[in-house]
Structure 1
């Protein structure tokens, strides 16, 4: 299978995804195999929602829309033009340990492996075990050459040449022990932060709410900590957050909110609270669900130096001078997790 064939298949997959970015979905007539797969995709999305209640209708639609927008021929060619990718497959098998915190969170690794010409051995998360198998089914239907290139499992990984594993700091220790002898990318906990100068528009603050609440804060690109000037007017922040007030209607989210609020109040920890989000002053980066940490600053230069020194803990920075407000959950294909160039690793020959 030539590189252009692989690109063409993912372009078709992107068009397929784009149908499901809205509710109700918008069926397109010209897509291959669409009559066979359209209704089944809708069923799979509902099944994913039933199996994992963090996977809400809105978040599943957002995932489909995002991949539909990303997987265009122009995006794929722009991304891959920076590399010398083999035209034909080198025949190595790359294991991918999928996380399950947000829908299809391991899809970018899956995409990288197949585009680079390798085969995928994917270990599915129990939290996200129906979406990718169905996506693979459609991908193989439009490009049968992928049939022998994809294997998904929930069992122990065996017989592979390299591995890409994503997890927490604790699971990363296990991954290092188990996969250390193989060429690997092992990702640990990372969180995203926002640097607020106090002059943001109401629209920017509302956009920041999306960076915080999308996927209920479970993704590494979710803003889990903010930096604000001393004497910051918190009304400005909370007015923006109000756009996502309905997040409290999710029973899992409200359970986390109630629990964290009770624990903090019992410990007499000072909080800022708008009845669906807790703000806690804290030097850490990884805040619990329903909580955002904050720190105040007096110098943008000093806080920028502080963030640079914590680079290994930060996935992305949202600010007027970094990723725009509202764009944290819309990475480009070339925005690699943890800053590790996955394609370069895959074409390096291990």
Structure 2
């Protein structure tokens, strides 16, 4: 199976995902031989929502839309052009231990493994087990040679040659112990931050709200902490956040908001509150659901130096000079998690 054949299969998958990229989109006249995949995807979406209350129609559609836009000939070609992917490569078995915090969070690793010419052994999370099997079956229908290259399991991993594992700081200790003898990428907890300088427009603040609230803030690329200049006018931020006011209507989110607010108030901790988001001054990076931590700063250069020293804890920085507002959960294909080039790792095996 040549690289272009693999690319073509993923391009078809991108086209397939467009049908599910809107909460209200209808599948129009599916090709007969693909009807089974359309129906399987519809069923998987229902299963995903029933299994994981954070997987709403809106968030699922957003994930599908993002991947449909990424899996194009132009995007894939531009991404892969710097790499030398040999067609004579011996396929290695790569175990991918996937997290289940947001829909299809491990799909980029899955994509990298298969396009690099290896075999993907995907250990899916119980929180996100329904979607990948359907997408894999679609890929196999487009390119039958993938059948020998894809294994999906929720049980003990079969034999493998290398591993990519994503989890928390605690699970990373286990991963390092269990996978220590294998070539590996082990990912720990990371969070994203935003720097505000006070000159942002309302549109930029509304875009930042997407970085905060998309996937209910559960992703490592979601902004969980703000850095604002001393004397900042919070009305600018809250006016932008207002576009996400309906997030409080999700009962799981509302329960977190009510709980965290009660705990902080009982502890006499000062808060800023707009009735669907709590702002708490805190030096930590990882904030609870419904809470956004913040710190003030005097000098931008000093702040940049501080964040550089903390880069092991930061997934991305959102600001006018870093990742643009609104783009935190729309990474490019070469925006590798933790800054580790997954494709280079796979090609060096």
TM-score range, shorter chain: over 0.9
Which residue of structure 2 lines up, in the alignment, with residue 134 of structure 1?
Answer: 134
Question: Does structure 1 conserve the Cα–Cα contact (< 8 Å) formed by 2:30 and 2:38?
Answer: no
d(CA) in 2 for partners of 1:42, 1:245:
29
Which residue of structure 2 lines up, in the alignment, with residue 97 of structure 1?
Answer: 97
After superposition, the Cα gap between the structure-2 partners of 1:337 and 1:32, relative to the gap in structure 1 and judged at 3 Å, is farther
Question: Does structure 1 conserve the Cα–Cα contact (< 8 Å) formed by 2:37 and 2:134?
Answer: no
Moved over 6 A (4+): none
Which residue of structure 1 lines up, in the alignment, with residue 17 of structure 2?
Answer: 17
Q: Tell me the CA shift for residue 148 of structure 1.
A: 0.7
Which residue of structure 2 lines up, in the alignment, with residue 292 of structure 1?
Answer: 292
d(CA) in 2 for partners of 1:150, 1:37:
17
Which residue of structure 2 lines up, in the alignment, with residue 53 of structure 1?
Answer: 53
Question: Does structure 2 conserve the Cα–Cα contact (< 8 Å) formed by 1:15 and 1:31?
Answer: no
Deviations 1:158-200 (A, max 9, x none): 3100000000011101100000110000000110000000110
Which residue of structure 2 lines up, in the alignment, with residue 7 of structure 1?
Answer: 7
Q: Tell me the CA shift for residue 44 of structure 1.
A: 1.4
Question: Does structure 1 conserve the Cα–Cα contact (< 8 Å) formed by 2:96 and 2:122?
Answer: yes
d(CA) in 1 for partners of 2:300, 2:159:
50
Question: Does structure 2 conserve the Cα–Cα contact (< 8 Å) formed by 1:33 and 1:141?
Answer: no
Which residue of structure 1 lines up, in the alignment, with residue 341 of structure 2?
Answer: 341
| 3-state SS of paired residue (2:294) | strand
Which residue of structure 2 lines up, in the alignment, with residue 161 of structure 1?
Answer: 161
Q: Tell me the CA shift for residue 149 of structure 1.
A: 0.5
d(CA) in 2 for partners of 1:20, 1:187:
30
Question: Does structure 1 conserve the Cα–Cα contact (< 8 Å) formed by 2:96 and 2:120?
Answer: yes
Matches within 5 A, 1:231-242: 231-242=231-242
Q: With the length of structure 2 as denominator, give the TM-score of the two structures.
A: 0.98
Which residue of structure 2 lines up, in the alignment, with residue 67 of structure 1?
Answer: 67
Q: CA RMSD in A?
A: 1.2
Question: Does structure 2 conserve the Cα–Cα contact (< 8 Å) formed by 1:2 and 1:88?
Answer: no
Alignment of 1:317 with 2:317, yes or no, is: yes
Q: Tell me the CA shift for residue 46 of structure 1.
A: 1.6
| 3-state SS of paired residue (1:325) | coil
Q: Tell me the CA shift for residue 219 of structure 1.
A: 0.1
Which residue of structure 1 lines up, in the alignment, with residue 247 of structure 2?
Answer: 247
Deviations 1:15-50 (A, max 9, x none): 111111113224365868432322321221121111
| 3-state SS of paired residue (2:295) | strand
d(CA) in 2 for partners of 1:7, 1:29:
25
Deviations 1:119-142 (A, max 9, x none): 011111010010001111111111
| Bigger mean CA offset, 261-270 vs 340-349 | 261-270
Which residue of structure 2 lines up, in the alignment, with residue 305 of structure 1?
Answer: 305
Q: With the length of structure 1 as denominator, give the TM-score of the two structures.
A: 0.97
d(CA) in 2 for partners of 1:99, 1:115:
21
Which residue of structure 1 lines up, in the alignment, with residue 39 of structure 2?
Answer: 39
Alignment of 1:268 with 2:292, yes or no, is: no
- In the alignment, structure 1 segments of 5+ residues that lack a partner are none
After superposition, the Cα gap between the structure-2 partners of 1:86 and 1:271, relative to the gap in structure 1 and judged at 3 Å, is same
Deviations 1:39-81 (A, max 9, x none): 3212211211111110000000000000000000111011111
Which residue of structure 1 lines up, in the alignment, with residue 177 of structure 2?
Answer: 177
Which residue of structure 1 lines up, in the alignment, with residue 116 of structure 2?
Answer: 116
| Bigger mean CA offset, 224-233 vs 15-24 | 15-24
The alignment of Structure 1 onto Structure 2 pairs a total of residues equal to: 349
